[in-house]
Structure 1
Amino acid sequence: MNLRQIEVFRATMLTGSTADAARLLHVSQPGISRMIGHIELQLGVSLFERGKGRLKPTPEAHALYAEVEQVYRGVQRIDARAHALKSGGGLELRVLATPSTLQEAVPAALASLSVDYPDSRLYVETQLVREMVRLLSIGEADVGISSLPIDHAPLVTDVVGAWSLSCVFQRGHRFERESAVSLSEIVKERRIAFSPDTPQGRLVAQAYPDGIDPARQRIEVRSGQIACALAAAGAGVAVVDNLTARAWQNDRLSFRPIRKAPTYKVFRVRNPNSPSSGLENAFVQRVRQGFRALAPKRV
């Protein structure tokens, strides 16, 4: 029996007549009668006793109906699941992100996604690039948002945003009077330094290869969040990414953009062996929108 035959047989069982079954299915009564006759011929058994405009199901019909109901409930579940996909039902998204992107853009995208896809399940964790590459390569995550470029087969990347550098400092510092600050002013300050292999450390080292006073950078960090916490405590000024600077601004910490600071790209990273879901595409679209709103301005 095909699905149409199952539908006609079930409607006839529920209503007890071909006329009522036809009304239920919005088709003609002769069509229902022909279909029931064809089913009986095909199965080689009698399913109904005819009489006085009513159809009385035979034991064979009752046995068949028990199986049909299971199929019908399965079809209903499929239909319900298909409609639920619009709100994320049965879908999950596993997101990895480097720390700075989790300060504002990625959380905002996930918050919006959870509203528009209320039945989805969202997982997010911060990872450094090396671990992000491993998890995406083995299929343990769906998408990564990285503030650093990744070149690792089979992963592919595309640009979703950009970030630049800012100077953070304790409230009340003289830099608050400026709309932007220069590296030449920053290196004169007591400074929380970044390791030389970080974008922040490279920028300062390239700009002032011989002009940095080691006595002014007694604290070295690798995390923008730690640098912000130290700056807020009065340990010095620090050069951090503008994403972290914005997120950490409070009544103890302020920041200003750095003049002529380079701009760096933010990447969506994924494994092309696993097709993107609609949920992932919606997430990435929101990430792009978030970074457009946070786009660094050249000063």
Structure 2
Amino acid sequence: MNYRQVEVFKAIMDSGSITEAATMLRISQPAVSKALKQLEDELGLRLFSRTTKGIAATEEARALYTEVERTYFGMQNLTRFAASLRDRKQGRIVVSTIPALGLAWLPSMVARFSAAHPDVTVSLHSSNSTDAARLVGTGEIDLGIAQLRSEEYNLSRRKLFDLEGVIALPEGHRLTSRSEIGAEDLADAAIVGLGLDDEFRRRLSQSLDGAGVRYRSMIDASLGVTVCTLVAEGCGVGIVDSEAARTQAGKGLVFRAFSPRIRVPIYLFRQRGRPTSKLVEAFSASLLPPSPFRRDDGGDD
């Protein structure tokens, strides 16, 4: 596989269409089709099947896509770094954070930092905690900002702040009259949850199970914003972090604190033993915690 084939394959997977992939890459549709055929011939695999609605990725294509994303991420970093050398930039920092913090909090931190360091390039990436730790541990990125549950990675870490789990309710729900919600209040409720490995979901489940509360788990989503949308559409109630709640306030939703409080620590981490530039140190020192999630945001301190 060469880089062009990887680029074409990723574009097709991302867009779901050979035509759209050609548009994304600014090449002709026959060129995309030719590159795809060459890739399939070299691998000896059928990556897409044709349907009445277009093309559909095979199981092999989906498995390959996972590895391609990792490789492509690294190649993009290399390309950006080469460009910074060519343009003689004074420095570059690559940061990855969880989606909840990448919507508003981290962009605001980067804006403050960039105002003080206009010649520094800051690359922001979004990934789950596990991938962020892996990328920092292998030296592919400079800093990670996420949850960390173990010491298995070659990382040094510093706690930045806690994120609080809050209950998302659709407007008009019977529980919106309460200032905070306990486990018993969610008896027989339909729960819209984050992924099974999410810490907020895990702790909410522990609270509900510990109180002997029966509930229905209907839909899982990987992003807090998606949970909020599903709740607003009437699919149930959900638990999200306070930053996701802040960005979704006023969108047909009401947020209430959960009792007992669910707080998850967020860490800044880097590769242990790796020399750290003064720019990375300055960026790390510039990070401030989000504002507390207050009652007038739909929550409760």
Per the shorter chain, which TM-score range? Answer: 0.5 to 0.7
**Partner residue of 1:290?**
289
Where do 1:75-224 residues align within 5 Å? 90-209=90-209, 211-213=212-214, 216-224=216-224
Corresponding letter in the other structure for 1:243: E
Alpha-carbon distance, 1:125 to partner: 0.5
Distance 1:171 1:286 in 2: 37
Given that residues 232 and 251 in structure 2 are in contact (C-alpha distance below 8 angstroms), is that contact kept between their aligned partners in structure 1? no
Alpha-carbon distance, 1:131 to partner: 2.1
Show CA shifts across 1:27-52 (max 9, x none): xxxxxxxxxxxxxxxxxxxxxxxxxx
Distance 1:194 1:120 in 2: 35
Distance 1:146 1:166 in 2: 18
Where do 1:22-101 residues align within 5 Å? 90-101=90-101
1:121–1:150 distance in 2 versus 1, CA, 3 Å: farther
Distance 1:148 1:91 in 2: 28
Q: TM-score, normalised by structure 1?
A: 0.62
Mean CA deviation greater in 115-124 or 240-249: 240-249
Distance 2:193 2:213 in 1: 11
Corresponding letter in the other structure for 1:219: I
Residue 259 of structure 2 aligns to a residue whose secondary structure is coil
Q: Alignment RMSD, CA only? A: 2.5
The answer for unaligned runs of 5 or more in structure 2 is 1-87
Given that residues 97 and 127 in structure 1 are in contact (C-alpha distance below 8 angstroms), is that contact kept between their aligned partners in structure 2? yes
**Partner residue of 2:245?**
245
Alpha-carbon distance, 1:107 to partner: 1.7
Corresponding letter in the other structure for 2:282: A
Distance 2:108 2:91 in 1: 19
1:229 aligns with 2:229: yes
Where do 1:252-267 residues align within 5 Å? 252-267=252-267
Distance 1:186 1:201 in 2: 14
Given that residues 184 and 213 in structure 2 are in contact (C-alpha distance below 8 angstroms), is that contact kept between their aligned partners in structure 1? no
The answer for unaligned runs of 5 or more in structure 1 is 1-87
1:273 aligns with 2:256: no
Residue 110 of structure 2 aligns to a residue whose secondary structure is helix
Show CA shifts across 1:83-106 (max 9, x none): xxxxx9511110011122223321
Residue 254 of structure 1 aligns to a residue whose secondary structure is strand
**Partner residue of 2:66?**
none
1:190–1:271 distance in 2 versus 1, CA, 3 Å: same
Given that residues 163 and 265 in structure 1 are in contact (C-alpha distance below 8 angstroms), is that contact kept between their aligned partners in structure 2? yes
Identical counterparts, % of pairs? 22
Given that residues 192 and 231 in structure 2 are in contact (C-alpha distance below 8 angstroms), is that contact kept between their aligned partners in structure 1? yes
Corresponding letter in the other structure for 2:267: F
Distance 2:220 2:122 in 1: 35
Between Structure 1 and Structure 2, whose CA radius of gyration is higher? 1
Distance 1:260 1:286 in 2: 32
Alpha-carbon distance, 1:194 to partner: 3.8
1:149–1:112 distance in 2 versus 1, CA, 3 Å: farther
Show CA shifts across 1:141-198 (max 9, x none): 1100013334234211110111111001222223332222222213443321344432
Given that residues 156 and 269 in structure 2 are in contact (C-alpha distance below 8 angstroms), is that contact kept between their aligned partners in structure 1? yes
Distance 2:89 2:222 in 1: 40
1:186–1:222 distance in 2 versus 1, CA, 3 Å: farther
Q: Where do 4+ consecutive residues of structure 1 move more than 6 Å?
A: 295-298
Residue 250 of structure 1 aligns to a residue whose secondary structure is coil
Given that residues 156 and 269 in structure 1 are in contact (C-alpha distance below 8 angstroms), is that contact kept between their aligned partners in structure 2? yes
